[in-house]
Structure 1
Amino acid sequence: MNTPPGKGLDRRLDWRDMYGTGKLFITIRRDYSGFTGKWQDQTGSPNELWDGVRC
C-alpha cells in the first residue's frame, strides 16, 4: 500500500535500496534550504533522524 505523499512542506515517502525498504517522513524548510525528518526500515524500527541542507 502506498502512503499519500503529504501536504505543504511535509512528505511521507517509501524508500528502497540494496539493503531493504522502509518509510521516510520529512519536513522541508519554508525557504527550501533543507529538511528534517525520520526514516525507518521495513521492521518499523528504529526511527532514525535524518536531515539535509542545500549544497
Structure 2
Amino acid sequence: IFVVFTNAGVLDLHKHQSNLAENDLINAVNDDYNPIKYRPISFYHFRDDMDNSAS
C-alpha cells in the first residue's frame, strides 16, 4: 500500500514531528479524522510513552 502526501501533508507531518508534546490533543483528533496519515507516528509515539512509563 502506497500513501502519497501532498505538499501540505508533508508540512503537517513535519509540524507533527516537531511539536509532539504541544499538539497531542490536536493530533488525537487528526487520528480520528485521517488515521492513515497520522497513525504510524502516533503509534510509535504511544509506544515510547508506554516504554517510558514502564521504566
Q: TM-score range by the shorter chain?
A: under 0.3
Greater strand percent: which structure? 1
TM-score (ref. length: structure 2) = 0.20
